[in-house]
Structure 1
Amino acid sequence: MIALALPAQDSGTFTPPGIEELHLPAIIPWGAADGFSKQMLLVILSVVIIGTFFVIAARKQQLVPGKLQFAGEAAYSFVRNSIAKDIIGGRDFMKYVPLLFTLFFFILVNNIYGAIPLIQLPTFSHVGGAYVLAAIVYITWIAVGVRKSGLKYFKLATVPSGVPFYILPIVVPIEIISNFLVRPVTHSLRLFATMLAGHLIIMISGAGIEFLVMQENVFLKGASVLVLGGAIAMYMLEALIMVLQAYVFTLLTAIYIEGALHADSH
C-alpha cells in the first residue's frame, strides 16, 4: 500500500489502485502467457482445504456426532436440502447433489480468500475462473435437457407453450438469446463482477486511509478515521457478499437444471 500512496502524496493528489494491483504478476512465468499465478495457487489450495475438511469430518462417523462431524453434516445438508431438494424436487435431486455441493464450497472458499489478511485475493475476481464454472454448468443443464427430452428439448426451451403462432417470430429469438447466450454470460459475470468490484473498493479504502494519514493537514489525518470506519463496514459487507455469491451461483445452477428436467411442463 505504501508504494501506492507515496506517488499520490508527492503529487498532492490521491491516485487509487487499479486492477493491475489486484492481478499480481505470475509466480512462475513461462512463455508469452501469464504463467502460474497466485489465483492458480489459491484454487489448488482450496481443493486441498475442502477435501481435507470433509474427509476428516466423515472419517469417524458416530451416532452422536462430534463438532467436526456435525459441521460437515450440516454443510452437506444445507446444499442437499435447501438448494438441491427444494429447487429440483424430491424425485430427481440426489444425482445432482455432488455437483451443487462441489460448486457451493469451491466458490465459497475461493471467495472467502478475499477476507483473509495477507491472502486478500478472491480468485474469482479474475474472470477466467468464473467463465470456466459457468461453462461447466451451461454444458450440464443442456445435457440434462437433451437426455430427458432428446432434441425436442431445444424446442421446449425456446417455444413457450400457449403463445399465439403470430407472436412466435418475436418470442423465439428472444428465448434463444435469453436462454442460450445471455444466461451463461450473466451467470459468470455476476460472480466475477461482484468479487472484483468489492475487492477494489476495499483496496481503494485502504490506500485512501494511508494517503490521509501521511498528510500534514491535521483535518485530513482525522478524516482517515471516518474512512477507516467506512472501510470496516465495507469489509463486513464484502464478506457477506462472498457467501451470498456462492449461494446465488449454486442456486441458479439448480434452477437451470430443474428447468431442463421439466421443460415440457413449463
Structure 2
Amino acid sequence: MHAASLIAAPFANDGGFHPPSLDDFFPEGLLFQGTIFEINRIHLIQFLATIVVVLILVLGTRRMRVVPGRFQSLVEMGLDFVRVNIAHDLLGRKDGNRFLPILTTMFFMVLFMNLTGVIPFLNLPGTSIIAVPLVLAVVSYVTFIYAGIKKSPKNFFKNSLFPAGVPPFLYIIVTPLEFLSTFIIRPVTLTLRLLMNMLVGHLMLVLFFSATQFFLFTAGGWFSLFGVGTLAAGLAYTLFELLVAFLQAYVFTILTAVYIQLAVAEEH
C-alpha cells in the first residue's frame, strides 16, 4: 500500500511529487502586472544574460593588448571561433567580414541565454519561450533576403523560385515547394529547433532534481536509492545541457550563415 501511494503521488494534490509542466514557462508577473510591459522571471533572466554578454564583449575588446591577458584571450577565442569557423569558412573573407557582427551577436546571444538554464538560482533558459528564438529567426530571415537582394536585385527572387535547369512544365510543382522551403520553413524551423531543445532540456532537469528531492526527503526508506539514481542522472544531464547550449548556438548561427551563403551565391 505504501508503494502504491508513492506511485500515485505524482498525480495527487497532497504535497507529493509533482512533475514539471509548461506552467514553469509562464511565471507570475513581477513588474507592471496586467500591462503589455509585464515583466516576469524569464524576462529578468533574458535581461541579465544580455547585460552579461554585452559587458564581456565590451570589456574584453575595449583595451586590447598585443600580449593578451587571460580574459582578453578567452574573449578572442570566442570571437575567432565565430569569425574563422562560421563566417570565413562559409562566406569567405569578404562576405564573412560583412556579416560577422550579426553572426557574432547571434551566436553569443543564443549561447548566454541557453546557459542560464543550468545556472543555479536562474534555472531557466532565456530561449525557452518563443519570443527570443522568433526574433532571432526573423533577423536571420531578413538578413539573408537583404543579402540576396543586395547581391542580385533583379534576379534573387526569380532564381530562388525558378531554379535554373528545371524543365518549365515542372515549375508548377517546384516553385511552390521552393517558396515554402526558402521563405516559410526556414524561419519556422530556426525558431522551433532552438525553442524545443531548450524547453525540453529544462523539463528534463526539473524532472530529475524534483524527483531526487521527493525520493530523498519525502518518500524515504528504500526509495532513497531511487533518489541517488535521479541525482546522478540530473548531474549527467546538466553536463549534456551545457553541450546542447553550445551546439544550439552554433547550429543557429551556422544555419544563418548557410542561408546567407545561398543568397549571395553566383547564380543569384
Other-structure match for 1:221: 224
Does residue 200 (structure 1) correspond to residue 208 (structure 2)? The answer is no
Q: Show CA shifts across 1:193-242 (max 9, x none).
A: 00000100111111212222245562322111111111111111111101
Task: Within 5 Å, give how 1:133-144 maps onto structure 2.
Answer: 133-144=136-147
- What is the RMSD computed on CA atoms of the aligned residues? 2.2
Does residue 116 (structure 1) correspond to residue 134 (structure 2)? The answer is no
Other-structure match for 2:3: none
Does residue 211 (structure 1) correspond to residue 214 (structure 2)? The answer is yes
Other-structure match for 1:3: none
- Contact 1:28–1:35 (CA<8 Å) still a contact in 2? yes
Q: Find the aligned partners of 2:59 and 2:36 in 1 and give their Cα distance.
A: 37
Secondary structure at 2:39's aligned position in 1?
A: coil
Q: 1:121 to 1:238 in 2, by over 3 A?
A: same
Other-structure match for 1:62: 65
Does residue 174 (structure 1) correspond to residue 174 (structure 2)? The answer is no
Q: 1:12 to 1:23 in 2, by over 3 A?
A: closer
Other-structure match for 2:6: none
Scaled by the length of structure 1, what TM-score is found?
0.90
Secondary structure at 1:264's aligned position in 2?
A: coil
Q: Find the aligned partners of 1:253 and 1:194 in 2 and give their Cα distance.
A: 18
Deviates more, 1:151-160 or 1:91-100: 151-160
Scaled by the length of structure 2, what TM-score is found?
0.90
Does residue 45 (structure 1) correspond to residue 48 (structure 2)? The answer is yes
- Contact 1:26–1:38 (CA<8 Å) still a contact in 2? yes
Shift, 1:84, TM fit: 0.3
Q: Find the aligned partners of 1:163 and 1:120 in 2 and give their Cα distance.
A: 51
**Unmatched runs of 5 consecutive residues or more in structure 2:** 1-8
Does residue 20 (structure 1) correspond to residue 27 (structure 2)? The answer is no
Other-structure match for 1:189: 192
Aligned amino acid, residue 123 of structure 1: G
- Contact 2:10–2:19 (CA<8 Å) still a contact in 1? no
2:247 to 241, 244, 248: 244
Identity level (%): 34
Task: Within 5 Å, give how 1:95-114 maps onto structure 2.
Answer: 95-114=98-117
Other-structure match for 1:92: 95
Shift, 1:43, TM fit: 2.2
Task: Within 5 Å, give how 1:229-240 maps onto structure 2.
Answer: 229-240=232-243
Q: Find the aligned partners of 1:116 and 1:30 in 2 and give their Cα distance.
A: 26
Q: Find the aligned partners of 2:25 and 2:212 in 1 and give their Cα distance.
A: 18
Q: Find the aligned partners of 2:238 and 2:73 in 1 and give their Cα distance.
A: 29
Q: Show CA shifts across 1:24-55 (max 9, x none).
A: 21211333547112222222222321222122
Q: Show CA shifts across 1:124-162 (max 9, x none).
A: 100111111101111111111112111421111122221
What is the aligned length?
Answer: 261
1:159 to 147, 162, 167: 162
Q: Find the aligned partners of 1:194 and 1:63 in 2 and give their Cα distance.
A: 40
Q: Find the aligned partners of 1:131 and 1:24 in 2 and give their Cα distance.
A: 20
2:261 to 252, 258, 263: 258
Does residue 145 (structure 1) correspond to residue 148 (structure 2)? The answer is yes
Q: Find the aligned partners of 2:261 and 2:69 in 1 and give their Cα distance.
A: 35
